[in-house]
Structures are given as C-alpha cells and as structure tokens.
Amino acid sequence: MKPIFALTILTSLFFSACSSEKPQKAVIDPAVYRVKNADELQQKINLLNQQLAQDYQKFKKKEYIAFSDQSALDTNDLKTLSLHAVSSTSLKPTKEAYCTMMNTYFNELYRLGHYNLNLLNDVKMNNAPQADLKHKFENTDQFYTFILEEHSTYKHAQQLMGFGCNLRGALNP
C-alpha cells in the first residue's frame, strides 16, 4: 500500500511540475504611450500627476492612521514626497499599498517619457535638468537613478517608512 501511495504522490508532483507555467512578462504596447507633440506629452504627464494627487489623497483618507497629517501632496514637486511618508509603525499591507501606488505612477511616467524621447526637451518637469531629460528616460537604470536621486524624495520616504518598494523591479516587469 505504501508504494502505491508514494507513486501517486510522485506522479502528481511530476505532472504539476511539468504543467506549471512560468509567469508571463507584461506585454507593453508602445503605441499606447506615444503622442504627437510635446504639448500632448506635457498634458499626459500633468494628467498622470493629477491622478497621483487624487489617489494619494484617497489613500491618506483610507489609511489615515499611517500619516501624521492629511495635507495634499504636491505632485508637481515630488521633492516633498518624504513629507507625506507612511509611518514606520504602519502595517505591512499599508506599506505595500503605498509602494504599489507609487511604483505604478513612476512606471507610467517612465513609459510616457521613454516612448517619446524626442519630445522630452520641450517638456517641463520640476526637479529635472531640462537639457538632459532625454538621457534620464533612455533606460530603466537611468530613470531609477533619476527618480531616487534627483526628481523626488521617494528613497527618503521609503527609509522613513522602514520598508523598501523595489522600484527597480517595478520598472523591469
């Protein structure tokens, strides 16, 4: 009886291992992000910023215990992001939700810029060097460095929260 039981388990393990699929990478359609001119790109970036401001305010209201104040985030100046950091005493699901919201925003911002490199010289982004903006969006590594060291205080917000958000992983799905 024991050999039949062992054979059944081994067979089921074999079939489940053979049939398991590797997770598929997200397919990104560049046409979704391409725009006709710099004004349209600026408008899309502004809309993305407005959406982040709304999402952030909703998140603060829902997770009010995680924040010391309820003031609005200035998405036009993400150097103030660390002033709106999630408390280090917050629960892990709150921190994960914050990371998801912010990483999604930065991912969308990257795609908008990356698929419109030729238009970036005519776009205004606070805390961004105007002359070298195209270079910042050329690949995910440069964008990652740009976000954490120049454009925002996202790195500091994560340190205050005591939880890493893995932006690099979010940019490379």
Mean pLDDT of 53-69: 93
* Ramachandran sector of residue 71 (left: φ over 0; alpha: ψ -120 to 50; beta: rest): beta
Amino acid letter, residue 104: T
Rg (CA), the chain: 21
Instruction: Give CA–CA dist 86/23, Å, rounded.
Output: 31
What digits encode the pLDDT tens for the residues 65-109? Answer: 998 878 899 998 999 999 999 999 999 999 999 999 999 999 999
Mean pLDDT of 30-36: 92
Residue 69: what pLDDT? 79
Report the sign of the C-alpha dihedral through residues 139, 141, 144, 146, in that order. negative
Domain coordinates of the chain in residue numbers?
Answer: 26-171
Whether the per-residue pLDDT at 58 is higher than 80: the answer is yes
Instruction: Give CA–CA dist 60/78, Å, rounded.
Output: 16
